[in-house]
């Protein structure tokens, strides 16, 4: 038997996961800059912004469902020391990021969506699904950059855009509509 509280707990867990990912990518971005890879740092920074959109969406979902305002600090406590210990070299950081994104879209969000569906909490199911699809894009981008790094290909300085609705990330130019949430291109921001 499932209850709506399970869904709220899942939303909170998702917020904690996204908050840690966001901070970790900021640290990975700093490291990539130090390692001499400003373009990889740019990607980490852009995806950290995308994760903050997931945090916002999940928070909004909790507020809509419970009809109460929620304080992010009451849910998340970032252990900066632990995250800093996870920073390795940029190649390893990319691999960690790919593993994290893959775990989120293959396992975490699928399970959360199932619980939300069972309880008819469509708002949560939708928020989980938007994030899940964006994580697939994130993992593909990290894989693409890792391959470039391994082939010692030249990284060009490109524009990176983030969809402010769903956290989708696009390189070089903005599509007419977001392939993830189908919102207009005006909802994209330059990272």
Cα separation, 30 vs 26, in Å, equals 6
| In the complex, minimum distance from the CB of residue 151 to Fe ion, in angstroms, rounded to a whole number | 24
Cα separation, 155 vs 31, in Å, equals 17
Nearer to Fe ion, 61 or 163 (CB): 163
Please pick, from the candidates 7, 14, 94, 165, the single residue that binds Fe ion as defined by CB under 5 A.
165
Does the footprint of Fe ion cover residue 164 (CB under 5 A)? Answer: no
Does the footprint of Fe ion cover residue 70 (CB under 5 A)? Answer: no
| In the complex, minimum distance from the CB of residue 180 to Fe ion, in angstroms, rounded to a whole number | 4
Please pick, from the candidates 94, 163, 169, 170, the single residue that binds Fe ion as defined by CB under 5 A.
163
User: Site map for Fe ion, 84-113, x if CB under 5 A?
Assistant: -----------------x------------
Pairing mode of beta strands 169-171, 160-163: antiparallel
Q: Show the beta-strand stretches assigned E in the chain.
A: 160-163, 169-171, 188-190
| In the complex, minimum distance from the CB of residue 47 to Fe ion, in angstroms, rounded to a whole number | 6
Please pick, from the candidates 138, 141, 145, 160, the single residue that binds Fe ion as defined by CB under 5 A.
138
| In the complex, minimum distance from the CB of residue 190 to Fe ion, in angstroms, rounded to a whole number | 15
**Which tokens go with 144?**
């693409």
Provide CB contacts within 8 A for 126, sequence distance 6+: 61
Does the footprint of Fe ion cover residue 166 (CB under 5 A)? Answer: yes
Structure letter (DSSP) for residue 155 = P
Residues near Fe ion, by CB under 5 A? 101, 135, 138, 163, 165-166, 168, 178, 180-181
């Amino acid at each position: 038997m499932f209850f709506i509280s399970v869904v709220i707990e899942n939303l909170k867990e998702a917020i904690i996961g996204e908050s840690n990912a966001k901070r970790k990518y900021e640290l990975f971005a700093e490291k990539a800059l130090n390692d001499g890879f400003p373009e990889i740092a740019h990607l980490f920074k852009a995806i950290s912004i995308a994760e903050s959109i997931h945090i916002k969406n999940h928070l909004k979902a909790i507020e809509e469902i419970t009809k109460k305002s929620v304080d992010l600090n009451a849910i998340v406590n970032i252990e900066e020391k632990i995250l800093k210990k996870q920073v390795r070299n940029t190649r390893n950081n990319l691999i960690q990021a790919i593993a994290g994104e893959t775990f989120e879209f293959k396992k975490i969000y699928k399970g959360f969506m199932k619980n939300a569906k069972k309880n008819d909490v469509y708002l949560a199911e939708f928020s989980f699904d938007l994030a899940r699809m964006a994580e697939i894009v994130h993992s593909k981008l990290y894989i693409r950059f890792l391959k470039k790094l391994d082939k010692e290909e030249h990284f060009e300085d490109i524009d990176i855009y983030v969809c402010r609705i769903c956290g989708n990330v696009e390189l070089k130019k903005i599509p007419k509509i977001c392939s993830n949430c189908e919102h207009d291109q005006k909802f994209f921001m330059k990272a």
